[in-house]
Amino acid sequence: MTGFVDEAQLNVRGGDGGAGCISFRREGPEVRGGPNGGDGGAGGDVWLVADRNVASLLAFRDHPHRRAASGVHGKGKDQHGASGKDLVVTVPEGTVARDLYTGEALADLVHHGDRWLAASGGRGGRGNAKFLSNRRRAPSFAEQGEQGEERWLKLELKLMADVALVGVPNAGKSTLISRISAAKPKIADYPFTTLEPHLGVVRLSDDTEYVVADIPGLIEGASAGKGLGHQFLRHIERARALCVLVDLAPVDGLAPAEQEAILLRELGAYRPDLLDRPRLVVGTKADVAVEPWDGRRVSAVTGAGLAELTGALGDLVRQARAEVPTGDTAFVIHRPTPEGVTVERVGDNEYRVHGRAALRAVALSDITNADALAFADARLKKLGVDKALARAGAHSGDVVWVGDFSFDYDGDS
């Protein structure tokens, strides 16, 4: 048995860009003709895509690394390298991607087909043919391929259901969902039978159906993490309506009203807006009830009250669907890369340059080649790095970092 996995870590890395080629034409007596080195191909991107056919995050438990293909290096005779193929990583509907280290929400893939660019591939380097100019007739350098973006993600699955069945342990949730849908959860007469949520589809007619989630039992203190509370409560967040089940034959002596109070208190402590969702409170195990209860009651064993319950829940779902638009796209927090160049002082005589254009100017250049280094220096000046360093208070001889590359600042240049 593989089990249900609703949390996982994922390492994604875009493919590296291919390097540009240094090459010159050799035609007849012209041994060293003009440059004809081709460009390297771009690295592939890594995309997370929500797929209704994926049930859990099990695929990432033992194999957390996903990497897109790298681009091919350029060749002579102006032959450009092929780009790396994008990698599509499928995840269940309702998957939230967070930064593993900060916990920051990056994307919420709610519906089938929602896509999010998890890691960009590196840009391919330009071949020496691209650096031909009136002043540079025989460029002897090309760009390196850019490394693909890499990040660690924490994936969390929040089940997509119309109705969440909420109750204390052994309140009859699993038995109920097995009677009103085709779901077949484990059923036994001891607490915490359900250690993972289950989904079932309730069909009222040919054109009316809704999804019900059987949430593992909640105990007092669940909102503070007791009894794996946060893992269980997370699956209630997306439910349009709640069905609160109270046990009319409790084994631990809690009266139905006490059970309801505990459940609502834990829901409100976890997320106050859960108490604003439409809900029904239902007494279960009516066939063996020992506690008085004036509200709606059902027996999953005899079937008493089940038709009325599924109909009432259907009405709640229809009302909730009408009031809250479903939405057709993923919730994604876009954080564009800041434009321009900034300088940060990182020590008494050290500065670090930030900005994607500046980082690329160095990362793509072969700094062991004098011509390439001069070209990179010219690009940095064109981007205004010298002026930014001067404004930051840098003096000649101070160390300047651009990515992993460092140089001594010359304020007179």
- CA distance to 96, 214, 322, 357, per residue, from 328 (Å): 16, 26, 15, 35
- In angstroms, rounded to a whole number, what is the distance separating the alpha carbons of residues 330 and 344? 35
Confidence of residue 400 (pLDDT cuts 50, 70, 90): confident
Q: In this structure, are residues 98 and 21 in contact, taking their beta carbons and an 8 Å threshold? A: no
Structure confidence at residue 340 (pLDDT) = 75
Q: In this structure, are residues 106 and 97 in contact, taking their beta carbons and an 8 Å threshold? A: yes
What six digits make up the tokens of 280? Answer: 């029904």
What six digits make up the tokens of 102? Answer: 């900060």
Instruction: Kindly state the average pLDDT of the residues 212-228.
Output: 64
Structure confidence at residue 229 (pLDDT) = 43
Instruction: Kindly state the average pLDDT of the residues 59-84.
Output: 93
**Which of 31-35, 81-85, 227-231, 359-363 comes out lowest in average pLDDT?**
227-231
- In angstroms, rounded to a whole number, what is the distance separating the alpha carbons of residues 197 and 78? 57
- The 10 Å CB-count burial string (b at 16+, else e) for 16-54 is bbbbbbbbbbeeeeeeeeebbbbbbbbbbbbbbbbbeeb
Q: In this structure, are residues 394 and 411 in contact, taking their beta carbons and an 8 Å threshold? A: yes
Confidence of residue 6 (pLDDT cuts 50, 70, 90): confident
What does the mean pLDDT of the chain come to?
Answer: 83
- In angstroms, rounded to a whole number, what is the distance separating the alpha carbons of residues 221 and 317? 29
Structure letter (DSSP) for residue 51:
-
pLDDT per residue as tens digits for the range 18-38: 999 999 887 766 556 789 999
Which residue has tokens 């309702």? 94
Structure confidence at residue 192 (pLDDT) = 43
Contacts 24+ apart (CB under 8 A), 249-257: 249/285, 249/288, 249/289, 249/290, 249/291, 250/168, 250/291, 251/170, 254/168, 255/291, 256/283, 256/291, 256/293
What lies within 8 Å, CB to CB, of 369 at 6+ separation is: 140, 141
Q: Are strands 279-284 and 241-247 parallel, antiparallel or unpaired?
A: parallel
What fold characterizes domain 1-157? Spo0b-associated Gtp-binding Protein; Chain: A, (2.70.210)
Instruction: Kindly state the average pLDDT of the residues 367-380.
Output: 83
Structure confidence at residue 188 (pLDDT) = 41
Instruction: Kindly state the average pLDDT of the residues 289-305.
Output: 91
Comparing 264 with 404, the larger pLDDT belongs to 264
Instruction: Kindly state the average pLDDT of the residues 43-66.
Output: 89
Confidence of residue 189 (pLDDT cuts 50, 70, 90): very low
Task: Give Dmax (Cα) for the chain.
Answer: 105
- Would the pLDDT of 150 be above 60? yes
Confidence of residue 323 (pLDDT cuts 50, 70, 90): confident
Structure confidence at residue 185 (pLDDT) = 46
- In angstroms, rounded to a whole number, what is the distance separating the alpha carbons of residues 89 and 76? 35
- Domain extent listing, the chain: 1-157, 163-323, 342-408
What lies within 8 Å, CB to CB, of 140 at 6+ separation is: 22, 128, 369, 371
φ, ψ at 283 (rounded to 5°): -85, 130
Burial class (CB in 10 A: 0-12, 13-18, 19+), 132: middle
Instruction: Kindly state the average pLDDT of the residues 50-68.
Output: 88
- In angstroms, rounded to a whole number, what is the distance separating the alpha carbons of residues 166 and 214? 7
How many other C-beta atoms lie within 10 A of the C-beta of residue 201?
Answer: 14
Confidence of residue 221 (pLDDT cuts 50, 70, 90): low
| Tally: H helices and E strands in the chain | 7, 19
Taking the whole predicted model, whether its pTM rises above 0.85 is answered as no
Structure confidence at residue 115 (pLDDT) = 93
Comparing 259 with 227, the larger pLDDT belongs to 259
Comparing 3 with 319, the larger pLDDT belongs to 319
- In angstroms, rounded to a whole number, what is the distance separating the alpha carbons of residues 287 and 267? 28
pLDDT per residue as tens digits for the range 275-291: 999 999 999 999 998 88
Does CATH place domain 163-323 in 3.90.1200.10? no
Structure confidence at residue 381 (pLDDT) = 87
- Would the pLDDT of 314 be above 70? yes
- Would the pLDDT of 297 be above 90? yes
- CA distance to 70, 308, 338, 362, 364, per residue, from 352 (Å): 29, 68, 16, 13, 18
Residue positions counted in the chain: 413
Comparing 227 with 409, the larger pLDDT belongs to 409
| Element holding 175 (H helix, E strand) | helix 173-180
* CATH number for the segment(s) 342-408: 3.30.300.350
- Would the pLDDT of 334 be above 60? no
